[in-house]
Every structure is written in structure tokens, then in C-alpha cells.
Structure 1
Amino acid sequence: MQIVKAVSRRVLSCMKILFKQLIRRKPMVTLQVEIDTQIEFKRTLTWWQLLAIGLGAIIGDGIFVLSGQAASIYAGPSVIVSFILTGIIALFSALSFSELGAMMPLAGSVYTYTYAALGEYLAWFIGWNSILLYLFGVMTITVAWSGYVVKFIYLVSDFNATRAIVQAPIGWNETVETFYVTGQAINLPAIAITIAITVLLIIGVRKTAMANLVLV
């Protein structure tokens, strides 16, 4: 019986330590030291370029493709209400980011803010969630862009290039709601635009911002 009590106390103690580590927050004193000692990079972006980057991140390519399908097939005119509600939520989120960014002007964005406000575990969760968000965002936008490439090729040369360069190995049949094998291997336009943007980012922030300003 004594052994069981000792083990129970040991487990309870370990759980308390683990819980304290999960909710451990980075003190503002530590953040202030990092702010005071961080290396100052040369500021190369203007507010016009920052505004264009924000618009490009919000609008993207996928919203023009998926919102039309959602309105015509599923939601109908009520999709406008969804846009209004999400716009209000996005406004509150932008205000929160503005306040936190002014308080903690450090690299890390939402990861740093969550670490300081809510704890290490939630910061870890939010960090990986942000990575997944960017991955799915890139997939959506590149696939939508490749669809525009195929349409442009068809308008110019009257050639349907869908099966040749766009289709993925596995597709989704909306009629029977099941996956099927297309017989294709890769989406070439999506890969091409991803490589092109990667090269543009490697060249420099200013060049990337100028290209984004022109496109937006």
C-alpha cells in the first residue's frame, strides 16, 4: 500500500511539473532584453509595399476559384454573409496583431505572441498550425493558378492541356464522391510557379515586394 501511495505521489508530482512546463510563459523582461539587443536590419519596405503584401496574402488566387464554387453549388447568395462575418473577425484579428506587434517587435509573429501570453505548449501548437496553414495555402493557390494557365493555353492555341500538364495522380469525383486514379503524374504549372516564387524570395525582399506590388 505504501508503494502505491509513493508511486501515486510521484506520478502526481510529474504531472504538476509537466503542466507547469506546458503553461510556462516567456517573461516580458526577457522579451525586452531581446528587443534591446536584437540586430537592427535595414528597413527596405514602404507602407505601400506592406499594404500590397497584406492584400496579396488575404486575397490570393484560391478565393476567386473556391468562393464561386461555394456560392453556385452549396451556399448561394448567403456566401456574402459569410464574407461579411469573416471580414469582421479578420478586422479584430488585425487589431490584435497590431497591438501585440507594437508591444513585442520581435521575429516569430504569432508564435512569439502566444509564447508570451498563453504559454509554451500553445505556442508550439500555434507554430505548427501556422506551418500547415502556409502549406495548404500554397497548395490551393498553385493549383488555382495552374487552372488559369490551362485556360490561357486553350484560348491561345485551342489545345486542352489539362491531362498533359495539370492533373494530379489522384482525383476526386464529385458525382459519386470517391477518389479515382487519373493516370497522370504531376502538376507542372504549380511546380513552376512555386520554384519561380522561391527564386524571387532568394533574390531579396525588395525585389519580391516590388513584384507583389505590380501583381496586386
Structure 2
Amino acid sequence: MDRRTFLTRGALVTVPLVAGCSGQEGEDGGSPAESPTATDRETPTVTETQTPTATETQTPTATETPPQSQSTTATGTPTAGQQAYPDYEWGRLSGVEPDPTTTIRMANTEFHPLIAEVPSGTEVTVTNEDAARHTITVPALDVDETVDSGGSVSFTVQQTGTFDYVCTFHPPQMLGRLVVTAAEQTPTTSTATETPTETATPTPIPDDDGGY
């Protein structure tokens, strides 16, 4: 076998080998198929839910109301007597019912009754049964009288209202109140007078012959 024959046979053997290597390419003769890459998955973010914190409710503390050192009128306004003499024990008047009377007694360094009630236009008499002198001082009525032991004074109140008074000689306990109410009006009764009715008497008519 000469050298040319050997090379030819070698070439025939080489071709199938090349063809076998070409089988690694894609079926369509193209490049090998690329392996799909892993798709990046988005990791869901966790939304933090804020838990509402408990709101502390502050319980209001009870406010202590100091006891009133003086009583007031129904509207809550101190009377003229309380304003003029604020250091007296006006709280003693709280809860006391008025006593209908026209006489106020001074005894044991106190006024009796503590609260007197009279209708307007009534004369009020104040008597002193103590050995010491006292005063009846009513600022709203311009009354300021000194009453000796065994003596008395009188005054009349025409206006209605609440009038606090004191004894200026004996603070802070000797005080009182005068409640003046509207006087009751007596209804007037009118009596109707009946007027008698006159009955007419017929006058006789005379006949022609002069008789009746």
C-alpha cells in the first residue's frame, strides 16, 4: 500500500468522528441551548403592624371643697352683713329653718331665734336679756343700735329679702339673720247692693158720667 492510499483511508475514518462530535450541537444545528437561569423571586416584605399602645386614662382626683366659713343667699352671693363682717361664724346659719316671730331676744351672747322670719311692714323688737350690752347691727338696713341690759329697740322693714346682722361687741359668734317675706294682701270683697224695682200702679180712667 502506497502512501496515498493510506492517507485516503485515514481521511475516511476522520469524517465520521467529526460528524459524531457535531451531535453535541442543537438539533437545529445551532448553538447548544442555554440552561435557563433561576428567576429571582421577590421576597415579600413583611409589613409591621403597630400594636396601639394602651392609653392611660387618668382618673381625676376628687377636689376637696373647703367648708364655707359663711353662709350665702339663695343665689350664692354673700349678704351685706357677711361682706361687712367676714370674720364671723356665718356657717352656723346653714341648715337652720326660719322661725316666724316679731321678737328677737339677746340671751347668753346669742340671738334667739338664729333666723327670724317676718312679713314686710312688720315692726321687729329686739330685747336684751343679758347683763352685758349688745348691738343689733344690720348693714343692709342701716340699723346699728346699742341695746343695754334689760332694754329693747324696734324697727320696721318694708323691703323683702335676707338681712344678716351681728353684735359688734361679741364677735365672731353673735350673729343672726332676718328673712322678710312679702306681706299677705287681704282680698277686698265688694258687696253688691240690690236696687229695689218700682212696680208701676195703673191709674184708673174716669167714665164719661164722672164715675169709676
Instruction: Tell whether the structures are fold-level matches, with TM greater than 0.5.
Output: no
- When you count strand as a share of all residues, which structure comes out higher? 2
TM-score range, shorter chain: under 0.3
In terms of fraction of residues, the more helix-rich structure is 1
